[in-house]
Amino acid sequence: MTESPYWNPKTETLDRERLEALQLAKLRRQCEWAAARSPWYRRRFTSDAFDPGQLNSLDDLRRIPILTRDDWMTSQEAKPPYGEIPVLGGEEAIRVHTTSGTTGRGPLRALDSRKDWAWIAEMWCYGIWGCGIRPLDTAYIAFGYGSFIGFWGLHYAMEKVGVLNVPGGAQT
């Protein structure tokens, strides 16, 4: 049997029409999830007269209100430590990640669930597989394994593919 050039041939070889239908369904579901679970998104969607149910094509993507870094920081400052943007409750979160905080306003804090990390690893798998990384390869991962999200997803994707990880950390 010949090895596939695709990590997930089923989705990576969809015809354009089916791919766009899948993307639209996922986009609509994500927006509905955000509106149902996040007070910030609920208010923002209402104030911008945005209804996820009215997403009829991928062209409607431009109608979705944009979350800016300033929005996120303002929310966290008003309701520490996470603000009203996260869609996870504390019982669902398994990890906290932050940005570096180099803007001077402090770091952004994000809560992650097991499902988030399964998805993050899966997305990285598409990229590393496309670059030719395969089971039984060895990878030296030279990034600081701190609270910055950085390359944690790469680390987990390498494990998922079957690569031997050598976590190097932040070295000079």
Q: How confident is the model at residue 2 (pLDDT cuts 50, 70, 90)?
A: low
Residue 71 lies in a domain: no
Number of domains the chain is built from? 2
Residue 153 lies in a domain: yes
Residue 141 lies in a domain: yes
Report whether pLDDT(172) > 80: no
Residue 105 lies in a domain: no
Percentage of the chain lying above the pLDDT 70 cut: 98
Instruction: Show the domain range for 141.
Output: 113-172
Choose one of 10, 35, 66: the last residue of a domain.
66
Residue 156 lies in a domain: yes
Smallest CA-to-CA distance from 109 within 146, 74, 73, 154 is with 73
How far, in Å, CA of 32 to CA of 86, rounded?
Answer: 14
Choose one of 48, 66, 84: the last residue of a domain.
66
pLDDT one-digit tens code per residue, 60-110: 999 999 999 999 999 999 999 999 999 987 789 999 988 888 888 888 999
Rounded mean pLDDT of 127-134? 97
pLDDT one-digit tens code per residue, 7-46: 999 999 999 999 999 999 999 999 999 999 999 999 999 9
What's residue 46's pLDDT? 97
Report whether pLDDT(1) > 60: no
pLDDT one-digit tens code per residue, 108-125: 999 999 999 999 999 999
Question: Please, are residues 111 and 82 in contact by the beta-carbon 8 Å criterion?
Answer: yes
Residue 28 lies in a domain: yes
Other CB atoms closer than 10 Å to residue 93's CB: what's the count?
16
Beta bridge partners of 139: 165
Residue 107 lies in a domain: no
Global confidence as pTM? 0.86
**DSSP state letters, 28-40:** HHHHHHHHHH-HH
Residue 131 lies in a domain: yes
What's residue 93's pLDDT? 93
